[in-house]
Amino acid sequence: MNKNISIIKRSSLVIAILSLLGAAMYVVAGISVERMSATLLRNYISAVGIGYFINAAALAVAALIFFRIFRSGRPFTRGNIWAVRGIAGFFIVKCLIQAVLEGKDLGIFKAVIAGGDSIFFAVLFLVIAEILRYGRLLQTESDETL
């Protein structure tokens, strides 16, 4: 059991660092895309740039989750469940914002279909959150038994 937890802790630290690096890269990419679209098309907010910023936020939350797992060695906690739900929320917001920004050009229906992958990821993260919840129940049971 302890060996497994130490592996979880080590891999969580690696992924937390990589998530932070990824978030920083997305912020830089978002800024450059927004600058480029502001120069080429005045007063126009690029949906791609906004998408990059939301990805950066999702990665920052992922870094937080894995850092918490690294510190405590307990993946099934209330904080982690809410953080995973938060990532699902980011993807829903991303889809909505892109539908609004691209809706002018593509039409709302096509813009929502184009953001289908964000909705899919949101549902997937909600599944993960519920599995973590189930794990939390098992963890509580195990703690009470011991």
Query: Residues in the site for other proteins, rule: CB under 8 A?
Result: 1, 4-5, 7-8, 11-12, 14-15, 18-19, 22, 55, 62, 66, 69, 75-76, 113-114, 116-117, 119-120, 123-124, 126-128, 130-131, 133-135, 137-139, 141-142, 145
For the chain, give the number of residues. 146
Q: Which two structure tokens, joined as six digits, stand for 120? A: 């899919």
- In the complex, what is the shortest distance from the CB of residue 61 to other proteins, in angstroms, rounded to a whole number? 12
Nearer to other proteins, 34 or 125 (CB): 125
Nearer to other proteins, 108 or 124 (CB): 124
Least distance CB 122 / other proteins (angstroms): 10
Q: Which residues have a Cβ under 8 Å from the Cβ of 84 and sit 6 or more positions away?
A: 65, 125, 128, 129, 132
Q: Give min distance, CB of 88 to other proteins, in A.
A: 11
Asked if residues 30 and 56 have their Cβ atoms less than 8 Å apart, the reply is yes
Q: Least distance from C-beta 80 to other proteins, angstroms?
A: 10
Contact 78, 65 (CB under 8 A): no
Nearest partner of 9 among 62, 58, 68, judged by Cα: 68
Q: Which is nearer to other proteins, 42 or 143 (CB)?
A: 143
DSSP string, 103-118: HHHH-HHHHHHHTHHH
